[in-house]
Amino acid sequence: MGRLSGKTILITGAASGIGRVALELFAKEGARLVAVDQEEATLAEAVAELETEALAVPADITDPEGVEQAFQEGLEEFGQLHGLAHFAGVAHSAISWKLSLEDWERVLRVNPTGSFLVARKAGEVLGEGGSLVLTGSVAALGAFGLAHYATSKMGILGLARTLALELAPKGIRVNALVPGLIATPMTASLPDWAWRAEVEASPLRRAGRPEEVARAALFLLSEESRFITGQALFVDGGRSIAGLPSLPPGFAKGGGKGVHGC
């Protein structure tokens, strides 16, 4: 039996990156899956490749009605939900004095507000023994060129801790993953100097792999972590205990793209 046998898990951001790897891993561990993403074609492809009961639900996590519909379809299909793995998010980089209000608001709308909408609904429908896993980022500790992203991810950590307190009487656990630099489509566009700086600043001297984050989520959703709630699990190769990476000459003066992980 798999570590998620008998459980139905809703995964957001399931069409690509960490979310898609988690979808495949959870399927192998015996879970029934509700896969949510706004990229409909890619989502359908991801679900079609699974050898388990799975439902693809195209939805925008920033739309309350879309979130409601995603959970409703999952409940109609499987009867019950046992966990949430929330990976959907967006990253964008700009030095603060060149950061538009539109980009600031877009990142905050998707990351903490989207997390709130999804987690709020999960807290409503999950029963005792349920587990919510949200996704922060080591960037929350401070990241050059990522004022909006860092703010958004720190907000998610606060949200997870608060929901852990509020949902504990219902027997529902809430934790957050805090990835560092992970090799995903989101980070593929990083300039070479930024990638090297992040790797060199990590004590393990490498980027993480999506499956390493997915396995941490698996642990938090499984019965193995049933006495763990309100925690931030850093999956960052030690990046959070290292200093800020060095920046190329003239970067602060000229602006440019910042470094981001998950």
Catalytic residues: 149
Note whether 164 and 174 are within 8 A (CB).
yes
Note whether 70 and 234 are within 8 A (CB).
no
Q: Which residues pair with 85 in a beta bridge?
A: 11, 133
Contacts with 70 (C-beta within 8 Å, 6 or more apart), sequence order = 10, 34, 36, 57, 59
Q: How many CB atoms lie within 10 A of CB 219?
A: 16
Burial zone of 76 (CB within 10 Å; 0-12 exposed, 13-18 middle, 19+ buried): exposed
Q: What's the token pair of residue 5?
A: 């046998």
CA 144, 147, 153, 156 torsion-angle sign: positive
The gap from C-alpha 221 to its chain's centroid, in whole angstroms, comes to 14
CA 116, 18, 147, 158 torsion-angle sign: positive
